Chain A
Amino acid sequence: MERADYERLRWRCIRRALLELDITLTRFLDDGFDKLTEDEKKVFVELADMEDHELWYWLSGKTECDDPRFAPVVAAIRKS
């Protein structure tokens, strides 16, 4: 991922509407993002563009992520 693309993604992860997402996504960028495959990184970029409440419901397990494309990355974030 190009530096500018990564930094844009970083900004969109560290400045959310919900504190819970600020913390969770910042932590994942620091600890888990590099371990993703290139395809998974693209999925993560899509996740980061989601509305805060929907994303937080997935990441907190309040609702189950039943989309097979997103589920592995959601699981990786939940484990980090």
Chain B
Amino acid sequence: MSIPVLKFDAVIVGAGGAGLRSAIQLSEAGLKTAVLSKVFPTRSHTVAAQGGVAASLGNSEEDHWTWHMYDTVKGSDWLGDQDAIEFMCKKANEVVVELEHYGMPFDRTDNGKIYQRPFGGHMSNFGEKPVRRSCAAADRTGHAMLHAMYQRNVKANTQFFVEWMALDLIRDEEGHVLGVTAMEMETGQVVIFHARATIFATGGAGRIFYSSTNAFINTGDGLGMAARAGIPLEDMEFWQFHPTGVAGAGVLITEGVRGEGGILRNSSKERFMERYAPNAKDLASRDVVSRAMATEIKEGRGCGVNKDYVLLDITHLDPATIMKRLPGIHEIGLQFAGVDCLKEPLPVVPTCHYQMGGIPTHYSGRVVMPQGGDMNAVVPGFYAGGECACASVHGANRLGTNSLLDLLVFGKSAGDSAVEDLKAGKAHRDLPKDAADKSLARIAAIDNRKGGANVHETRLAMQRTMQDHAGVFRFGDMLKQGVEKILEVEKAARQLEIKDKSQAWNTARTEALEMENLIEVAKATMISAEARKESRGAHVRDDAPDTAEFPNGRNDKEWLKHTLFSPVDNSITYKPVNMQPLTVEPVALKTRSY
């Protein structure tokens, strides 16, 4: 079968913040640039980001990028690479000011400067006291950012391919990346995008968990494609969770509900936080509350048919106070839990929010992997930025407002590196004769299979397995079982069947293709989490508790290293954390406490 080939200097997969930011660099450098997206760009999940973007502008009070760097290293529980963290924090002011020049409507101070507000974990003078570092546009920072960058791209003649799904990375025998195969949803036509530079900006894969704040679009397509092309995935055991999402839906319930007097209860209606945190009770820190909830569920005191959630009770509060102080919570209860929270408690569960790991990259945005003794050998022609990439700046846990900063800095950096490499004169390399064969075979298998697995049921089995066995608080025995279970789910995910055989707008097929990406991420997460026998940042194990020898369960002697999961044989190798910043003294190891 003859497959159409579209030739570009650069192809970018994903039109969220990172994709749009890198596209600006390429298009404005005069390079022919294509951006592929499953949805219209301003409907990417970046839109959901509300908190702001961190930059030590010092508009409201004294601030410095070295203080921001210290906070980020500490937040990462020292797993972040300090060269990449220095790079990001130093670049923050530049990318925020650029965004302002693109037309981003930041909130302003009375004297016209960008207004800055405090945000958890951001401190002045190396952890001394909170600092105002977050730049926001009301509660629509991500939305405003995408609009500003989309307009800039339109002006720069970036070519958008909207409602296209990228299928597979094209690599030649020498390992160079030459573009992607992709499918136009409107026609079902598969096309080769032949490019000199390929940039992944596909976002996270939070949909691997049963309870996730992520929109349905976050199916880890870039990670799945990288894995199928033999590229390892880094630090996939690290996922940030929020303690209270609506069970079964994932929609976030603000922590302000507990602040106003909300009480967590188990199946016996017991206020269980009294046992875990006798003083702070329901107002204990996010980590403590999440762990207590997970323990109650694991020990059989969860609620509902599956005993898989606990209750958040505000029925004792004055209804007028709830409606005034917690606007929206009543509606969320009605719409997503079918519960009137003034009369009944809300079902809640720790809920996945952000993926710290991803495709391993250098801070220049170039993708790296172990080759011939070099743990960080560049994969020629391949770049990544944003949540799908692991630079690694978030390490074992991410600070709020550093995610929008990540996608601006590393989106730009990936674009700059691609421009630099392309200007060095690299021509299009010849496409392998079988460039599209794997993608076509995958689609044909899904279309033609009889007696295969149902996509919805397989996805649910994966999500349940991930939630039960690799959730916010992890247990050694559960992780071991989880590895076996997820490998079973993988077998089903390799045998998907769909009923709809149409070419045009076959959403069943698209969801099956997404499922093949999700399972790569789920497997990498479970196996990486089982292997890391310490607690660090967001990876917290029951069998690696807080002791005098290992505060918070962290064991730097054995585990101060990045995980690299190889999708080729499900094996794991490790590489050292880069503790050496670019120009300043390293942030020395110490116990992470706030």
Contact = CB atoms under 8 A, between A and B. Distances in A.
A15 interface: yes
A51 interface: yes
Nearest to B213: A19
Contacts of A24: 335
Interface in B284-342: 327-328, 331, 335-336
B48 A4 contact: no
Residue with the greatest number of chain B CB neighbours at <10 A, chosen from A7, A14, A17 = A17
Contacts of A11: 163, 185, 505, 507, 510
B505 A15 contact: no
A8 B335 contact: no
A19 B505 contact: no
Given A4-B504, A11-B507, A61-B331, A22 B43 contact: no
A60 B39 contact: no
Contacts of B510: 11
Contact of B251 (A15, A19, A61): A19
Given A17-B44, A17-B45, A22 B216 contact: yes
B331 A14 contact: no
Contact of A18 (B48, B212, B505): B48
Contacts of B185: 11
B517 to A, nearest CB: 14
Contacts, number: 83
B143 A53 contact: yes
A75 B249 CA distance: 21
B502 A3 contact: yes
A15 B214 CA distance: 11
Given A11-B507, A17-B215, A22-B215, A53 B502 contact: no
A36 interface: no
Interface of A: 3-4, 7-8, 10-12, 14-20, 22-24, 26, 51-53, 60-62
A3 B179 CA distance: 32
A51 B39 CA distance: 12
Chief secondary structure at chain A's binding surface? helix
B186 interface: yes
A4 B47 contact: no
B506 interface: yes
Given A8-B186, A52-B43, A60 B331 contact: yes
Interface of B: 38-39, 42-48, 140, 143, 163, 185-186, 212-217, 249-251, 327-328, 331, 335-336, 502, 504-507, 510
A17 B331 contact: no
B336 A14 contact: no
B571 to A, nearest CB: 34
B333 to A, nearest CB: 12
A53 B335 CA distance: 17
A19 B328 contact: no
Most chain A CB inside 10 Å of its own CB: which residue of B44, B251, B327: B251
A23 to B, nearest CB: 6
The 7 closest A-B pairs by CB, nearest first: A7-B505, A17-B47, A22-B216, A17-B43, A15-B217, A19-B215, A4-B504
A19 B47 contact: no
13 contacts: A3-B505, A11-B510, A14-B216, A14-B507, A15-B215, A16-B39, A16-B215, A17-B48, A17-B143, A19-B213, A22-B215, A23-B251, A51-B42
A52 B139 CA distance: 13
A8 B505 contact: yes
A45 to B, nearest CB: 14
Nearest to B163: A11
B47 A52 contact: yes
B247 to A, nearest CB: 13
A7 B215 contact: no
Contact of B216 (A8, A19, A61): A19
Given A8-B186, A11-B507, A53-B47, A19 B250 contact: yes
A24 B216 CA distance: 12
Contacts of A52: 43, 47, 143
A23 B216 CA distance: 9
A51 B185 CA distance: 21
B186 A53 contact: no
A9 to B, nearest CB: 9
B221 to A, nearest CB: 12
B48 A10 contact: no
A10 B249 CA distance: 19
Nearest to B217: A15
A51 B48 CA distance: 12
A53 to B, nearest CB: 6
A26 B217 CA distance: 13
